[in-house]
Structure 1
Amino acid sequence: MMQFLRFGVVGTAGFVVDTAVLYAGLALGLGLYSGRAVSYLAAASTTWALNRAWTFRAAPRAPMARQWALFLLVNLIGFACNYGTYALLVAGVPLVAAHPVLGVAAGALAGMVGNFWLSRRFVFNASRAAA
């Protein structure tokens, strides 16, 4: 349970990064969809680093580049839930299109449980670290 709570705190930090990068991308001329793809990658990289250092700190250390890539790979399911929720809301709810942070929040919640399970099972798993 403590791991899940730490994962939630890290997810909150990821949400802040996601939102900040999205709004920066929008200010630089990226659209709502391409800006979100960039912001998601920044947030996923941030949450991987924080989860490695804090949430799953007791897990054996796999090589960083390999573990980061594995984190991104196994969390594609969570990404699909996250980005899919965001895209549906931006496309269908004018309030969300005007305030994309609402879609980012809804997407983050949609992907959180799956991302936790996948991360714990496949990325930060003692039996897989040596593989």
Structure 2
Amino acid sequence: MLVLVSMALRVRDAVRGVWREAAKFGVVGALAFVVDNGGYNLLVFGLPGGTQGGVMRSAPVRASVVATAAAALFSWAGNRYWTYRHQHRENMTRELALFLSVNVVGVAITAGTVFASRHLLGLESMGSDNAARVLGWALATLFRFFTYRRYVFVAP
């Protein structure tokens, strides 16, 4: 009986730890989303109510790259110093390289769902694109969460 109680307590503690970690991961991800989309809109369209547009109004693709890169760096710092602050690597360069590699795969997952929707299923509406992107975002987020905790932010 004591073994069952002990196991139940260990499972409870593990679940609590994962939920806290997932909540922090979600907060960092939500803020990175704001940095990405807000940064893009500021770079291309400028401040709300402005008539001139942003400093990169004639280069939306480059603005997207800049905003996404800023969001990725923000996400790495947030996860390294908050979500996984007790388990990050000593070699920061290696950790950042692993982080960026995982994010490239995450982008491929999201793009892959749009590709599948368009080219395999033949769906071409705005609704199907957005549904595919949401599905891809959800799958990529799960992939990132588990790979960050297993391979990127691990103590040496």
CA distance in 2, matches of 1:108, 1:35: 21
Q: Distance in 2 between matches of 1:37 and 1:86?
A: 19
Unaligned runs of 5+ in 2: 1-18, 45-53, 119-123
Larger RCO (alpha carbons 8 Å, 6+ apart): 1
Letter in 2 for 1:47: S
Identity of aligned residues (%): 34
Alignment partners' CA distance in 2, 1:85 and 1:34: 23
Q: Which residue in 2 is equivalent to 1:17?
A: 35
Q: Secondary structure at the match of 1:20?
A: helix
Any gaps of 5 or more consecutive residues in structure 1?
97-101
Counterpart of 1:93 in structure 2 is 126
Select 1:47's aligned residue among 71, 75, 81: 75
Q: Which residue of 1 aligns with 2:48?
A: none
TM-score when normalising by structure 2: 0.61
Q: Which runs of 4+ in 1 moved over 3 A?
A: 82-89, 105-110
Q: Distance in 1 between matches of 2:112 and 2:28?
A: 21
Amino acid at match of 1:6: K
- Structure 1 partner of 2:105: 77
Two-structure CA RMSD over aligned residues (Å): 3.0
Q: Distance in 2 between matches of 1:85 and 1:49?
A: 28
Partner of 1:6: 24
Q: Distance in 2 between matches of 1:83 and 1:25?
A: 23
In structure 2, the CA distance between the partners of 1:20 and 1:85, relative to structure 1 (3 Å rule), is farther
Structure 2 vs 1, CA of residues 25 and 86 (structure 1 numbering), >3 Å: closer, same or farther?
farther
| CA distance in 2: counterparts of 1:110 and 1:41, whole angstroms | 21
* Aligned-partner Cα distance in 2 for 1:83–1:109: 12
Greater Rg over alpha carbons, structure: 2
- Match of 1:63? 91
- Report the TM-score when normalising by structure 1: 0.71
Report the number of matched residues: 118
In 2, Cα distance between equivalents of 1:115 and 1:60:
15
**SS where residue 150 of structure 2 aligns?**
helix
Instruction: Return the alpha-carbon distance in structure 2 between the equivalents of residues 68 and 78 of structure 1.
Output: 15
Deviations 1:57-79 (A, max 9, x none): 11043222221122001222112
